[in-house]
C-alpha cells in the first residue's frame, strides 16, 4: 500500500471543514436571545474572536476565521489583495464610526461599507445617540456570517470589540497599499 504525506494545507482544510458553520442574523447568540425573550433584560453581546494565518504553501494567501463562544464559525481563504480591500473597508468604517455624521437621535441609522467588485466583506455601522456599533459580514465558499464586531462611544472615542484588533492585525501584517500617482 502506497501512502503520501499530507500537507499542512490539507490538514487545515480538513479542520475547517469539520467546524460548525452558521449564519446568525444579528451576530448574537441564541442564549442571549432566549434571555431577552424570557424577560431577563437586554441581550448580552456575544463574544467573537478571529484568527488570521498566512498559508505556508501559498504565502500570498491567508486563512481568516471568525468564531463565537457557542462554537459557530466561518472561515475562508483570501488573497493579500482581498485582505487589502477588507482593510480599506474597515478603515473607512472606523473613521465614520468615530464622527457624529449621520447619527440617529431616536432611531438608529445604519450605513453600509462595501466594495463593488469584492463581495466577501461588508461592514455596517449603526449609529444611535452617542454610540456606533460595527457589524462585519464575511462571505466565503462555505457560507456567510454577520457578527457584532465592536462599538465606539463617540464622545470618549472608546473602542471595544475584535473589529479594532483585526484592523490592527491587517495593518501590521499586510503590505502598505501603493498610493496613486498625482
The CATH number linked to 38 is 3.30.2450
Helices (H), 5-147: 8-17, 30-37, 80-98
- Starting at the edge strand found earlier in the chain, the sheet holding 20-21 runs 20-21, 72-79, 58-68, 48-55
Q: Is residue 140 part of a domain?
A: yes
Instruction: Work out whether the CA dihedral 145, 22, 172, 126 comes out positive or negative.
Output: positive
For 62-110, what is each residue's pLDDT tens digit? Answer: 999 998 877 789 999 999 999 999 999 999 999 999 987 777 667 888 9
Q: Is residue 179 part of a domain?
A: no
More confident residue, 16 or 136: 136
Q: Is residue 163 part of a domain?
A: yes
Confidence tier at 126 by pLDDT (50, 70, 90): very high
Q: What is the mean pLDDT of the chain?
A: 76
For 129-176, what is each residue's pLDDT tens digit? Answer: 889 999 999 999 999 999 999 999 888 888 999 999 999 999 998 887
CB atoms under 10 Å from CB of 24, counted, come to 18
Domain total of the chain: 1
Q: For the CA atoms of the chain, what is the radius of gyration?
A: 18
DSSP 8-class letter at 40:
-
Q: Is residue 178 part of a domain?
A: no
Q: Is residue 93 part of a domain?
A: yes
Confidence tier at 34 by pLDDT (50, 70, 90): very low
Q: Is residue 2 part of a domain?
A: no
Q: Is residue 3 part of a domain?
A: no
> Which residues, at least 6 apart from 74, have a Cβ–Cβ distance to it below 8 Å?
21, 22, 65, 66, 67, 138, 140, 142, 143, 144, 145
Q: Is residue 102 part of a domain?
A: yes
Q: What is the pTM of this model?
A: 0.70
Residue 88's domain comprises 8-173
DSSP 8-class letter at 142:
T
Amino acid at each position: 500500500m502506497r501512502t503520501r504525506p499530507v500537507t499542512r494545507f490539507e490538514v487545515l482544510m480538513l479542520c475547517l471543514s469539520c467546524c460548525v458553520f452558521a449564519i446568525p442574523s444579528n451576530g448574537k447568540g441564541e442564549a442571549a436571545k432566549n434571555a431577552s425573550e424570557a424577560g431577563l433584560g437586554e441581550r448580552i453581546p456575544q463574544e467573537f474572536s478571529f484568527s488570521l494565518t498566512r498559508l505556508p504553501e501559498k504565502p500570498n494567501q491567508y486563512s481568516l476565521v471568525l468564531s463565537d463562544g457557542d462554537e459557530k464559525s466561518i472561515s475562508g481563504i483570501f488573497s493579500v489583495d482581498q485582505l487589502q480591500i477588507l482593510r480599506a473597508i474597515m478603515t473607512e468604517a472606523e473613521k465614520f464610526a468615530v464622527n457624529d455624521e449621520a447619527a440617529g437621535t431616536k432611531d438608529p441609522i445604519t450605513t453600509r461599507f462595501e466594495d463593488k467588485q469584492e463581495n466577501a466583506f461588508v461592514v455596517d455601522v449603526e449609529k444611535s445617540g452617542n454610540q456606533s456599533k460595527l457589524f462585519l459580514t464575511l462571505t466565503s465558499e462555505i457560507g456567510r456570517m454577520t457578527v457584532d464586531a465592536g462599538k465606539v462611544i463617540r464622545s470618549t472615542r472608546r473602542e471595544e470589540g475584535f473589529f479594532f484588533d483585526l484592523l490592527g492585525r491587517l495593518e501590521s501584517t499586510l503590505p502598505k497599499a501603493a498610493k496613486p500617482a498625482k
